[in-house]
Amino acid sequence: MSPFVEENLHSLLSIHDPRLYFSKITQLAQAIGFEYCAYGARMPFPLSAPRTEMVNNYPAAWQQCYSEHQYITQDPTVAHGSRSMVPLVWSDELFADARELWEDARSYGLRNGWAQGCRDGNGVVGMMTVARSGEPITAVELGEKEPLLAYLTQVTHVGMSRFFLEHSSYGQEVKLTPRETEILRWTAEGKTSAEIGDILNIAERTVNFHVNSTLAKLNAANKTSAVVQAALRGLL
DNA sequence: CATGATCGGTTCTCACGACA
DNA sequence: TGTCGTGAGAACCGATCATG
């Protein structure tokens, strides 16, 4: 672990205020040459309309512009970050289908940037972006700083998603009994209650009882929802 | 006493096939 | 194409028993 990482890891994890936490992240980003940084997270629930949270230190005018134009729906870095963990450097080619967004960003001083997606066992998908108005990011610089940027992404994701989850019902810990977990696993495999009863050598009613118990714990409307939620929470 | 496991009866929902 | 009947599966309510 580099001195950079070692010096900041413990101090970051002890911070319990989201604003202060992100402020520290921006300081770290600036220390490695990026004046701007942004972090966005998409919560796994509700599946029909996943909640998105964003924090950044971009110019206020650019934040307003981005929001007004709903650029998030066409931002190629967001699309990339939601499906890939591969680092991405901003380029003309990247924004070929979002020229207006690209030109607006540059006009607000966001000229060179680097983004990386990340995800965790809770099903939260995050994306970290660092950017600057100055010189382009060279291959040499990227090679030198990539480990630090990857670390910064992970630390930001762990810390900030924790704050986001604190204020949602999804963030509340759910504990399933071993029997409940076992039955949900078979349910996820498409087995009916009767089939699971045969497999586990218990009555179908008993299987249903445990399924109902998981519905209550997961606040799920039905068995299908319970299985999906349990899977996304990493309980299976 | 709290928790987990087991079981029974009943009702509801929904997919599917038959039929006009 | 729309309606209706049927059956499988799901959901709900209740209870007892074992264990730490």
pLDDT digits (tens, 9 = 90+) for A47-67: 666 788 899 999 999 999 999
**How far, in Å, is the CA of A204 from the C1' of nucleotide B9?**
13
| Mean residue pLDDT across chain A | 82
pLDDT digits (tens, 9 = 90+) for A90-126: 999 999 989 999 999 999 999 999 999 988 777 788 9
| pLDDT at position A173 | 67
Residue A55 near residue A18, CB atoms below 8 Å = yes
pLDDT score of A46 more than 70 = no
The CB density around residue A31, as the number of other CB atoms within 10 Å, is 12
Please tell me whether any atom of strand B lies within 7 Å of the Cβ of A178: yes
Classify A176 as helix, strand or coil. Answer: coil
A223 nearest nt, CA–C1' = C10
A195 nearest nt, CA–C1' = C9
Please tell me whether any atom of strand C lies within 7 Å of the Cβ of A193: yes
Alpha carbons A166 and A89: distance in angstroms, whole number: 32
- Residues 6 or more apart whose Cβ sits within 8 Å of residue A224: none
What kind of fold does domain A174-232 have according to CATH? Answer: Arc Repressor Mutant, subunit A (1.10.10)
Protein-contacted bases of chain B (C-beta within 7 A): 3-9
| pLDDT at position A76 | 92
| pLDDT at position A1 | 47
Query: Six-digit token pair at A100?
Result: 């207006």
**How far, in Å, is the CA of A155 from the C1' of nucleotide B2?**
40
Enumerate the β-bridge partners of residue A119.
Answer: A125
Residue A126 near residue A117, CB atoms below 8 Å = yes
Looking at 3.30.450.80, 3.40.50.720, 3.40.50.300, 3.30.2130.30, the CATH number of the domain A3-169 comes to 3.30.450.80
| pLDDT at position A6 | 55
Q: How confident is the model at residue A30 (pLDDT cuts 50, 70, 90)?
A: very high
pLDDT digits (tens, 9 = 90+) for A178-196: 777 777 787 777 777 777 7
Please tell me whether any atom of strand B lies within 7 Å of the Cβ of A208: yes
Query: Six-digit token pair at A174?
Result: 């759910």
User: Which A residues between 88 and 147 have a beta carbon under 7 A from any strand C atom?
Assistant: none
Domains A3-169 and A174-232 share a fold: no
| pLDDT at position A140 | 92
| pLDDT at position A83 | 80
pLDDT score of A200 more than 80 = no
Alpha carbons A90 and A139: distance in angstroms, whole number: 13
Vertex A3 angle, CA A120 and A88, to 5°:
45
Please tell me whether any atom of strand C lies within 7 Å of the Cβ of A224: yes
Q: How confident is the model at residue A132 (pLDDT cuts 50, 70, 90)?
A: very high
The DSSP code sequence of A66-131 is: HHHTTGGGT-HHHHHHHH--S-EE--TTTTTT-HHHHHHHHHTT--EEEEEEEE-TT--EEEEEEE
Q: Where are the domains of chain A?
A: 3-169, 174-232
